[in-house]
A and B are shown apart, each in its own frame.
Chain A
């Protein structure tokens, strides 16, 4: 079954404690991206990757890092999380003319 998986699904952490949200896809897609969703703001792109070792900033990249060492994985790293990064995060993987979203990670930073 074609899917995008994210872990963890829920995370509560404290300010400054580094964390990683993993994302994996099994569709051999080259393009992957991360979004955050906040009430009333829609989906905003954080980072995207066109292929292995090729990443670029989206619209709201501050405070985030990504890496793309393998085609299937695209982890999102928060080196020093802050409360304004409390949000719902979605990883997405794009094939020809269709984008698949992961189930989401709800992050709370205290």
Chain B
């Protein structure tokens, strides 16, 4: 089942922070985060396994709340290069099969 991502779009100025969310109606084994720039393939950012861990990639970090079946991605001190569409992929069984949300479009302006 497709996870729900919110907000649909975010516009922020360079240096500002933002949070984007991914929610599932099912219990999750893991959550993957990807970023896709226009005309390119999605690029893996990080994976969070059940257990509520937090991870980071550059100044982008994420958390996974197993009980709430949701993950949040934190863009800190955003840079122009952070612009793109962020997708979460949720895994239910630990079998590599991911269901992707519709994406969060992030635009960082100077």
Residues of A within 8 A of B (CB): 31, 33, 35, 40-45, 48, 50, 58-59, 90, 94, 97-104
Contacts and interface: CB of A to CB of B under 8 A. Distances in A.
**A-B complex: 5 closest residue pairs judged by Cβ atoms:** A42-B102, A43-B100, A101-B41, A31-B96, A94-B96
Given A41-B102, A42-B103, A43-B87, A99 B41 contact: no
B96 A99 contact: yes
B102 A40 contact: yes
Contacts of A40: 102
Given A31-B96, A48-B97, A99-B32, A90 B42 contact: yes
Q: Is the interface of B mostly helix, strand, loop or mixed?
A: strand
Nearest to A97: B47
A52 to B, nearest CB: 15
B107 to A, nearest CB: 17
A48 B98 CA distance: 10
Chain B contact residues (Cβ within 8 angstroms of A): what range? 20 to 34
B41 A98 contact: no
9 contacts: A31-B95, A31-B96, A50-B95, A50-B96, A58-B97, A99-B89, A101-B34, A101-B43, A104-B41
Contact of B41 (A44, A45, A90): A90
B47 A42 contact: no
A42 B87 contact: yes
Given A35-B100, A43-B87, A101-B42, 19 more contacts: A40-B102, A42-B2, A42-B100, A43-B42, A43-B89, A45-B97, A48-B97, A50-B96, A58-B97, A94-B96, A97-B30, A98-B44, A98-B47, A99-B34, A99-B98, A100-B44, A101-B34, A101-B41, A104-B41
Contacts of A100: 44
Contacts of A31: 95-96
Nearest to A43: B100
Contacts of A48: 96-97
B18 interface: no
B99 A45 contact: yes
